[in-house]
Amino acid sequence: MLDVTPDDLGAMLARGWRRFGPCYFRPQCSACDACVTLRICVAEFRASRSQRRARNRAARLRRVVSRPLVDDSRIALYRKWHRNREASRGWDPSPLKADRYALDFAFPHPSAREAAYYDGDRLVAVGLFDETPDALSAVYFFYDPDLKRDSLGVANVVALVEDARSANKPYVYLGYRVAGCDSLEYKADFAPHELLDARPGEDESPPWRMPTLRTSLSLRK
């Protein structure tokens, strides 16, 4: 849907919606509220020690922000990353080709952005995100698994917070945090942050709240 403006998307993010390619979604499970929308409070955010280490390790890389692109290097990097996930996490194989990559990762939405990371001339990571008038929203991140120890995903989030701060945007959305899920629970490490308590409608004010101090700081290193 190209008729969703950046302002529209910003209002949707505040109500727990997400965008991936041409699709917009949010949890609808009536008997489960495990998926909780999380956003970082940019002005108050201070990187933890481990997050600073990740940022410093990534400082050697060249970071280029642009509209999302489709080329052989991005598709090859995605396939290498996904094969690693297939082996380590039991994911199903991905038959991703250029046309599907273009639809999912480079859909021509006016908010769509890409942060590409290069080691010299070699593409080593791609972070996809949305930009709205008052926020940045992390959408997807993949990287060269040979650089796993560099924690580039963490460095990418810290970079988004720094981008938002420079642009005077108050929030960075990280999508859904699910307690007990290792691949999603890490988001609580980025503090201070707010959690969305419900699934408000268009005419309802979204009930954002700060978690308790103990919850907010429990995973920080």
pLDDT digits (tens, 9 = 90+) for 154-176: 999 999 999 999 999 999 999 98
Q: Which pTM value belongs to this model?
A: 0.91
Q: In this predicted model, what pLDDT tens digit does every residue of 81-131 receive, in sequence order?
A: 999 999 998 999 988 999 999 999 999 999 999 999 999 999 999 999 999
Note whether residue 22 is domain-resident.
yes
Evaluate whether residue 177 is within a structural domain. yes
Residue 1 lies in a domain: no
CATH number at residue 207: 3.40.630.30
Domain coverage including residue 78? 6-217
What are 53-58's contacts with CB under 8 Å, separation 24+?
53/151, 54/150, 54/151, 54/152, 54/154, 54/155, 54/158, 55/154, 55/155, 55/158, 55/159, 57/150, 57/151, 57/155, 58/117, 58/150, 58/152, 58/155, 58/156, 58/159
pLDDT value, residue 44: 96
Number of domains in the chain: 1
Domain for residue 103, yes or no? yes
Q: Does 196 map to a domain?
A: yes
170, part of any domain: yes
Please report which residue ranges of 143-211 form alpha helices under DSSP H.
Answer: 152-166, 182-185
